[in-house]
Amino acid sequence: MKQAPDRGGRLSIGESLPWGRRQDAVARPSLASRIGTAVARLPRLILRAPILLYRYTLSSFMGRQCRYLPTCSEYADEAISRHGAWAGGWMGAARLCRCHPWGGSGFDPVPQCLPADARWHRPWRYGIWRQPPE
């Protein structure tokens, strides 16, 4: 039998396995792994549902009212998608507290990474609750 080049024990697609079968596709994750992933996504989906409902119903009738770009609903949706339900939810709540007629305005993107002093047991550290001084 001809030996395949050493690739750390991996076979390429279509290459014969030692016992004669071919590996035609990448192995699928197990059922337990897929269920675990779905359960981990559930809090994000639950928090994103009211945001999407607001965005496609009430917001479309009222027009753009937010003083920031991205809008508060877009900010909360992106924060939850990027940082998870716990941290992203608190970031969205902090943004809603900053968005009022006497508050700031302008471009305010979702942070790429979480603040260094944020911990799960101190959720208020995830968000920026007041407009930074100019």
Q: What is the pLDDT along the chain (134 residues), one digit of tens a residue?
A: 555 555 555 555 555 555 555 555 567 778 778 887 878 888 888 989 999 898 888 888 887 788 888 999 999 999 999 988 898 999 999 998 888 888 888 898 998 888 887 787 787 777 777 665 55
Strands (E), 8-78: 68-69
Q: Is the dihedral of CA 116, 119, 122, 124 positive or negative?
A: positive
Is residue 116 within 8 A of residue 82, CB to CB? The reply is: no
Structure confidence at residue 23 (pLDDT): 53
In whole angstroms, what is the distance from residue 126 CA to residue 81 CA?
A: 15
Which two three-digit tokens encode residue 15? 């290459």
Structure confidence at residue 120 (pLDDT): 78
Which two three-digit tokens encode residue 53? 């409902």
Structure confidence at residue 74 (pLDDT): 92
